[in-house]
Chains A and B, each alone.
Chain A
């Protein structure tokens, strides 16, 4: 079955640590996106990539980094520079213009 997988489902981080969230898709989609979800704020875009080896900052990129070395993979690293990283992180991909974004199941990150 085609889809997006995110791992881990739950992640706990100590302050000062970097952590990497995985996002993999087997839909052959070119574009991929990372969103952060906080209660009452909807989803906010962190980074996106429209093609392999290229990515762009979204609205809240500070403290995060990404890579896009393969079409199917778009990992997100939450660095120690992110002041308030506790949130639900969602990865998405899209087939093309005019299509809907397809979302993964999410990773809940908690900073201890």
Chain B
């Protein structure tokens, strides 16, 4: 069965420091992977996706993610965190043929001034 794991409920980082939000996946075949961000009482906003090609994917707001097939990971990264990056982050994998998404449980990112 396909699944996504986000092992950290919360990640704390100081403003200006690099951040990493972890995601691992289990899927048959080649994965389509996504990162979304959610601010309080709002819908999800798309950040970036991996379909094929370069393992380093660049997305919105300075975020990037590294696809690692051997480790089945798709960690979200940013070189320098901002307080405004504080939000809930979701990793997701697409189910083939239906385009359904299977989501991880989310990681709350707190960036401290």
Q: Which residues of A contact B (CB under 8 A)?
A: 4, 6, 31, 33, 35, 40-45, 48, 50, 56, 58, 88, 90, 92, 94, 96-98, 100-106, 108
Contact = CB atoms under 8 A, between A and B. Distances in A.
Contacts of B83: none
A28 to B, nearest CB: 16
Q: Is the interface of A mostly helix, strand, loop or mixed?
A: strand
Interface residues of B, number: 21
A104 B38 CA distance: 12
B90 A43 contact: yes
A56 B97 CA distance: 13
B100 A48 contact: yes
B71 interface: no
Contacts of A41: 105
Given A31-B99, A42-B104, A94-B99, A100 B34 contact: yes
B100 A103 contact: no
Given A90-B43, A90-B44, A106-B41, A101 B9 contact: no
Contacts, number: 56
Interface in B47-88: 49, 51
B111 to A, nearest CB: 21
Nearest to B97: A97
Nearest to A58: B100
B105 A42 contact: yes
A31 B100 CA distance: 10
A35 B44 CA distance: 11
A33 B95 CA distance: 13
18 contacts: A6-B43, A31-B99, A35-B103, A40-B106, A42-B90, A43-B101, A45-B100, A50-B98, A88-B41, A90-B43, A90-B44, A97-B99, A98-B51, A100-B46, A101-B99, A101-B101, A103-B45, A105-B42
